[in-house]
Structure 1
Amino acid sequence: MTIVNAGRGARRNGEGPMLHGRMLRYLDEIARSGSIRKAAGRLNVASSAINRHLLELEDEVGAPLFERLPRGLRLTAAGELMVNHVRKTLKDYACVRTQMEALRGLQSGEVRVGTTPGLADSILAPVVERFTAEHPNIRLVVRTYRPDTGMAAAMNGDTDVYVGYNVPKTPRLAVLASAELQIGAVMAPDHPMAGARRLRLAECLAYPLAVPERNSPARDLIEAFLPGDADLLPVLESNAPDLLKKIACRAPAMTFLTAADIEEDRFFGDLVFVPIQELQGTPLRVSLVRRHNGSLGISAGLVVHQIQTRLAAATASHEAPTASAQRDQVPVSSG
């Protein structure tokens, strides 16, 4: 076994390193191919030229980067360090190029947002409408997940950001923004309880209930505060907020949602929101998170900024007025 090395020792004349852009690509491809000849073929460069640059680089750093074996080349320990650096540099350079293009007004690409079905309608819908109008060249992809799979998608980098309820703290996710949303009773304006300042859960149980599905954050919160001898016997359970709202529009039915879920419905006088006494001080926390060791491009940063603005607006409005005061309230602006 022989070591690929020029054998002349490291340069001592004070010249800078040779890791220019061309050599970065050469090293990466040699390491992937395990062969100078194969790397040359893939790069459409003479193998003698690649070999010459490799020998000069090894002379520059004063250490062999590859071992020559009967079936090709294998990285040395020094080579492993160098190639890891090379690949990080190439990745960072591609990211910088994308950011520079965005700064020049050539915004393009794709931003992936993960969330839950309810938050897609209440929190993200206004963001999507505004963002796509302002940035038509950027493709926005919104996918809905169950909470556990949504967090996994963010941690694995399958989404750029994730918006979810009660996201547990983990070193693998960085929190970019959060909001606290209060669950309340939602019903038609002509419902017998529509004028109440607040309701107890026991009072709600006297009416036909359409409720969020089992094991959802809202359902878990409601069941945790039920009176000890009471059972939740809904006429409908669903993970679709629009369906729950349609049922609640017809008295005497009611449902349990946040004020953010029914902003437009309150504005047009179709639904009212009444706080529930037992749930005061126990809001649902909505968090915007990304992978901890990941980075956001400029396009993703623009989306994040609009979601942060939306969450701030939702927090400011979570103590929704009741009865007649709701008829005079305008929807919360998304920006």
Structure 2
Amino acid sequence: MLQYLDEVARSGSIRAAGAKLHVAPSAVNRQILLLEEELGEPLFERLPRGMRPTPAGEVLLAHVRRTMQGYREAVAEIRDLQSLPSGEVVIATMTGLASSVVSAATMSFHARYPEVRISIRVMSTQEILRAVANSEADLGLGFNVPSSGQLEICWQMDTRLGAVIAAKHPLARLESIPLAQCASYPLIFADRSMVIHGIIADTFAAAGIRVEPAFHTNSIETMKRLAAAGEAIAFLSRFDIAEERQSGSLAFRPVRDRAFSDNILSLVRREKHGHGLAGLLFAEEIMGTLESVVA
């Protein structure tokens, strides 16, 4: 029926539309009459030399053509799926995410699509923004990526920081930990070059808790190793330690009495940019892995 309406409007007559579609003109006319009766509005003006859409017909035709275009695109995507994707997908991300969420997604994706090469590039937040905007990376995954008209957000969540401790830490028995109680143990702070340094330091200051961290580092991997090795406490998101939580070497505990400020994790790609099938499928894989961490 959608094709009947579209072709009558294009051809200007029911007879010409029937001939184009290889359908009896009476069948085309019957469908249009039934639809007009259902809508309670004429869709075409019957003129001596053909048919012209009414205002109601123009509204419906716009919808019809969008629907048909969407259908054609869906059919094209289904046909693409019949052949395995290939090529390279570049993802720009941060060090903790690269070794946890992105690594897990990459291994799962590679098992199903071995012909696709995945390049993982570790960058700062600003570098991720530039790499995706300049098409140097297909995808960007990072914390607190600045908004940009050039970027499309595929997935986003506020992933507040919490206490990251060894599985056998004395505080691991608690479901959440008071911030003041953390101060009784050696603390691991991100250094001033990292955005999360300000989030952590400001939270302790706002709570009126004076602390002198035992360790400073700009390496997420080092923070995780220090926490796993003893009673030191790091402050990271649950996404930074996805692999370690699964293996049981580290635990994540929310801070009970004083929430850390926003720590937004975003998966982005360039807006209005031709996305290859491999890139679209890998983005879906990343989002699935992120959702599994939340669950």
- TM-score range with shorter-chain normalisation? 0.5 to 0.7
Separation (CA, whole Å) in 2 of partners of 1:289 and 1:266 = 25
- Contact kept, 8 Å, 2:91 with 2:139, in 1: the verdict is yes
Aligned to 1:109: 87
Map 1:29-68 → 2, pairs under 5 A: none
Aligned to 2:197: 219
Aligned to 1:253: 232
Aligned to 2:119: 141
2:291 to 312, 318, 325: 312
Q: How far 1:161 moved relative to its partner?
A: 1.1
Q: How far 1:171 moved relative to its partner?
A: 1.1
Q: How far 1:127 moved relative to its partner?
A: 0.6
Q: What amino acid maps onto 1:135 in structure 2? A: Y
Map 1:140-289 → 2, pairs under 5 A: 140-228=118-206, 229-280=208-259, 282-289=261-268
CA pair 220-196 structure 1, distance change in 2 beyond 3 A: same
3-state DSSP of counterpart to 1:277: coil
- Contact kept, 8 Å, 2:242 with 2:293, in 1: the verdict is no
TM-score, length-normalised on structure 1? Answer: 0.59
1:121 to 84, 87, 99: 99
Cα offsets for 1:254-289 (capped at 9, x unmatched):
211222333443344322222112554744221111
3-state DSSP of counterpart to 1:136: coil
- Contact kept, 8 Å, 1:118 with 1:239, in 2: the verdict is no
Separation (CA, whole Å) in 2 of partners of 1:281 and 1:232 = 16
Pick which of 107-116 and 250-259 moved more. Answer: 250-259
Q: How far 1:198 moved relative to its partner?
A: 2.2
CA pair 103-263 structure 1, distance change in 2 beyond 3 A: closer
3-state DSSP of counterpart to 1:226: helix
Separation (CA, whole Å) in 1 of partners of 2:284 and 2:235 = 29
Q: What amino acid maps onto 2:126 in structure 1? A: D
Separation (CA, whole Å) in 1 of partners of 2:245 and 2:84 = 40
Q: How far 1:313 moved relative to its partner?
A: 2.3
Aligned to 1:38: none
Structure 1 vs Structure 2 CA RMSD: 2.6
Separation (CA, whole Å) in 2 of partners of 1:271 and 1:134 = 29
3-state DSSP of counterpart to 2:140: strand
Separation (CA, whole Å) in 2 of partners of 1:106 and 1:204 = 50
Q: What amino acid maps onto 2:236 in structure 1? A: L
3-state DSSP of counterpart to 1:148: helix
Separation (CA, whole Å) in 1 of partners of 2:267 and 2:147 = 12
CA pair 221-245 structure 1, distance change in 2 beyond 3 A: same
Separation (CA, whole Å) in 2 of partners of 1:167 and 1:278 = 27
3-state DSSP of counterpart to 1:120: helix
- Contact kept, 8 Å, 2:228 with 2:249, in 1: the verdict is yes
CA pair 279-108 structure 1, distance change in 2 beyond 3 A: farther
Separation (CA, whole Å) in 2 of partners of 1:232 and 1:267 = 31
| Larger helix fraction of residues | 2
CA pair 225-164 structure 1, distance change in 2 beyond 3 A: same
Q: How far 1:184 moved relative to its partner?
A: 1.2
Identity of aligned residues (%): 29
- Contact kept, 8 Å, 2:97 with 2:239, in 1: the verdict is no
Paired residue total:
219
Q: How far 1:153 moved relative to its partner?
A: 0.8
